[in-house]
Amino acid sequence: MKIIARTGIALLLIAAVAGGLGYYFVCYPNTQVDDEGVFYIREDDSFENVMENLQNNGYIKNSYTLRLVSRLKKYPEMVKSGRYRLKDGMNNNTLVNLLRSGNQEAVHFTFNNLRTLEQLAGVVSRQLEIDSLEFLETARRPDLQRELGFTPETFIGMFIPNTYQVYWNTKPEKLIRKMAEEYRKFWNDTRLAEAKKAGLSPMEVITLASIIEEETVRPEEHPVIAGVYINRLNKNIPLSACPTLKFALGDFTLKRILNKHMEIESPYNTYKNQGLPPGPIRMASVNVIDAVLHYKKHDYLYFCAKSDFSGGHYFSKTLHQHNIYAKQYHRALNQRKIY
């Protein structure tokens, strides 16, 4: 009986030790996080890469116990890329469950003040796990543009500058489809009604906004210039917008538009062609789009940059008055040797 009793006690001790070790391996806090705890797992990262990166970043106290729990929960075969948020004091079970589930945290994907898809591709590659070339190739696919309801000329207008919740490891096509969805959300009933009232389609509003954004840095002038252009459209007067020539020439650094520039053969030459160009000349900001939708009603048909180079403009109802301002401005350009 004594032998049996001792054996029983020994088994209880073994079970207690095993239970204690099990608790230590699975439930004992094993992370130390003294920063934001943002941890990235890339598409081609293996289980070993994940373990090494956790250890190298100083997030793990005991890598042996984490590896053991990971294997017990079959995590090595279930590695998922993403942007994860680690917390101080997480145990192995909680950490492995987080990584194995792919329950990542979304990124605040932000872009603004961009002109081209190439510039957007650069922003995308800096904020998300997307190669810029892969994004461009996807964005330029005619079949995808057509399916989403755009042309090569209007496609850039689909991207409304803002901040969006996007998963870090999202694929290029999925990101583009999300932007198309956000575009449709942006054009709610209220904005659609305002566009109809102005006699413009949503993409025409964006196209006009893209021109206005290149015309002035002064927000208070946006609705006034929008009113000028809408007046010209309604009277069948060419827009004669300098930014469209810069776009056609592929050079937004031009400081002075000359007669030779106005002769370029391009559908974006609004000196030669009546109406709006085929599409936006940049990504138009939300505030400028809304300025077009709430354009100021007036009788102005012309505007000219002020000769003091303050960034403001003079507005005119007659060509005679406009020419007076234009001469002043050209004289100031000459004085600064801007030819």
Residues 201, 257 share a domain: yes
Average pLDDT of span 97-117: 95
Under the banding of pLDDT at 50, 70 and 90, the label for residue 4 is low
**Token digits of residue 14:** 């073994």
Average pLDDT of span 270-287: 97
DSSP 137-178: HHHT-HHHHHHTT--TTTGGGG---EEEEE-TT--HHHHHHH
Q: Which residues neighbour 179 within 8 Å (Cβ) at sequence distance 6 or greater?
A: 158, 159, 160, 164
Average pLDDT of span 50-55: 96
Looking at residue 130, its pLDDT comes to 97
Q: Does 10 reside within a domain?
A: no
**Global model pTM greater than 0.75:** yes
Residues 182, 88 share a domain: no
Under the banding of pLDDT at 50, 70 and 90, the label for residue 17 is very low
**Token digits of residue 262:** 């106005």
Under the banding of pLDDT at 50, 70 and 90, the label for residue 3 is low
Element (H, E) at 126: helix 117-127
Q: Domain range holding 168?
A: 107-186
Residues 235, 134 share a domain: no
Residues 208, 264 share a domain: yes
Q: Does 181 reside within a domain?
A: yes
Looking at residue 234, its pLDDT comes to 96
Q: Does 16 reside within a domain?
A: no
Residues 244, 217 share a domain: yes
> Number of structural domains, the chain?
3
* Residue that terminates a domain, selected from 101, 134, 165: 101
Residue 249 and residue 258: Cα distance in Å, rounded?
Answer: 12
Q: Where are the alpha helices (DSSP H) in 238-285?
A: 242-249
Residue 307 and residue 300: Cα distance in Å, rounded?
Answer: 19
Q: Does 338 reside within a domain?
A: no
Residues 149, 53 share a domain: no
Tell which residue, 101, 91, 94, has the closest CA to residue 41: 101
At residue 20, does pLDDT exceed 60? no
Q: What is the mean pLDDT of the chain?
A: 92
Q: Please write the tens of the pLDDT for every residue from 198-209.
A: 999 999 999 999
Q: Does 212 reside within a domain?
A: yes
Residue burial 147-182, b: 16+ Cβ < 10 Å; e: rest: ebebeebbbbbbbbbeeeebbbbbbbeebbebbbee
